[in-house]
Amino acid sequence: MANPKSPALTVVAVGPRCSIEVPSARAAALSVYLRQHGITSDTPEPSSSGVENITLHRGADVQRVQALLDAWTRSLAKDT
């Protein structure tokens, strides 16, 4: 995530559902971080492509989730 070549994490809306694609190595940690900040989601779905999908529960505030993603990404960058 701290790698400048990594794509930014964004909330993707498809109809009424929103999700986040995240590298597999970070999916569990991001899911915990979101729960700690009151964002509920399904368990990350593993993928053989190295990217997991975290589906947010209905009613998630997309702007708030995006702000949390941005803060989480910045905190990872500081740790490296």
Q: How far apart are CA 66 and CA 76, in angstroms?
A: 15
33-67: per-residue pLDDT in tens? 999 999 999 988 778 899 999 999 998 999 999 99
Q: Which residues contact 8 (CB under 8 A, 6 or more apart)?
A: 73
Q: Which whole number is the average pLDDT over 18-40?
A: 95
| Residue 4 reports pLDDT greater than 70 | no
Q: CB–CB of 53/47 below 8 Å?
A: yes
pLDDT of residue 80: 63
Model confidence at 7, pLDDT cuts 50, 70, 90, reads: low
Q: How far apart are CA 17 and CA 36, in angstroms?
A: 21
pTM: 0.85
64-78: per-residue pLDDT in tens? 999 999 999 999 888
